[in-house]
């Protein structure tokens, strides 16, 4: 199978490239410099000329707080850009796997979120990603899989565990939010599932995230312990650490549709820590 990867220079794209190669498929990995998905014509031409069997869209505006003051830019990538990729894939006869987020929910539900739960994003970033979901469904109604995932971390880019490891090596104490819970997801585990879904062509929305649940505080404690760093971590509330964008209090995702099951987030952290060169970057 020939798979085109957009956003291949990002953290998730890094592992999707490896997963495509590992599965024995033919991959065409395009970074943002090689393809700006906000350019409708360039996207259509590039996908047409590549003649892929499937497209995995990893291109995204990921600066959650920055989206609050750059909502139009976030929407151009996460909304319009996603629709451009979907339209181009559909025109080329390719199946699209598009990556979305837990931030399309408001976090008020006490139980884990499933695919059929109503969406209600709290932030500009979440609204832009929901816009992308709708654009994908409209542009490729019969040929898309939308994968909602959560709390991504991986070897190929900036992420929470790397930030915690650096901070723990420099500070006498860390304070981390304890009243937001979610499903930490290692991109090294998510990427093969995206490739699998590209081959299976499962239509509609699927939740694919690391198994289990924890708070940011619990994740930070686990990261510090895994890194062997002697630094205490103290829990604080969201109110004590205000940020421009509101985050859902509950971001735990599970699937009611039989989506591929990923390993527990603790195993994801263990596998992440086994890549010391990338982890220290």
Catalytic residues: 125
C-alpha 125: how far from its chain's center?
A: 12
The strand pair at 144-149 and 95-101 is best described as: parallel
Rounded-to-5 percentages of helix, strand, coil across the chain: 40, 20, 40
Nearest to 104 by CA among 205, 237, 8: 205
Identify the three-state secondary structure at position 189: helix
* Contact assessment for residue 71 and residue 128, using Cβ atoms and an 8 Å cutoff: yes
- Over its C-alpha atoms, the chain yields an Rg (Å, rounded) of 18
In 92-197, DSSP assigns E strands to 95-101, 144-149, 152-153, 174-177, 181-182, 185-186
Token pair recorded at residue 47? 């996908």
DSSP string, 222-276: HHHHHHT----EEEE-GGGS--SS---SEE-B--SS-PPPPPBHHHHHHHHHT-H
């Amino acid at each position: 199978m020939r798979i085109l990867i957009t956003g291949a220079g990002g953290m998730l794209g890094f592992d999707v490239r490896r997963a495509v190669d590992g599965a024995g498929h033919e991959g065409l990995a395009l970074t943002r410099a090689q393809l700006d998905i906000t350019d409708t014509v360039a996207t259509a031409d590039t996908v047409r000329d590549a003649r892929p069997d499937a497209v995995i869209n990893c291109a995204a505006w990921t600066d959650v707080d920055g989206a609050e003051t750059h909502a139009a830019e976030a929407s151009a990538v996460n909304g319009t850009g996603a629709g451009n990729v979907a339209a181009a894939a559909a025109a080329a006869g390719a199946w699209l796997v598009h990556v979305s987020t837990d931030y399309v929910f408001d976090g008020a539900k006490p139980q884990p979120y499933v695919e059929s739960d109503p969406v209600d994003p709290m932030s500009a970033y979440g609204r832009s990603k929901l816009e992308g979901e709708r654009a994908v469904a409209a542009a490729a109604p019969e040929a898309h899989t939308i994968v909602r995932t959560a709390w991504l971390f991986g070897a190929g880019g900036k992420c929470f565990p790397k930030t915690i490891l650096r901070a723990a090596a420099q500070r006498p104490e860390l304070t981390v939010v304890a009243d937001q819970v979610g499903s930490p997801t290692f991109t090294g585990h998510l990427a093969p599932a995206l490739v699998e879904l590209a081959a299976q062509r499962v239509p509609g929305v699927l939740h694919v995230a690391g198994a289990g649940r924890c708070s940011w505080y619990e994740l930070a404690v686990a990261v510090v312990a895994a890194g062997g760093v002697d630094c205490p971590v103290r829990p604080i509330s969201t109110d004590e650490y205000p940020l421009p964008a509101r985050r859902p209090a509950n971001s735990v995702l599970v699937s009611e549709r039989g989506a591929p099951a990923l390993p527990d987030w603790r195993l994801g952290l263990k596998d992440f820590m086994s890549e010391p060169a990338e982890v220290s970057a």
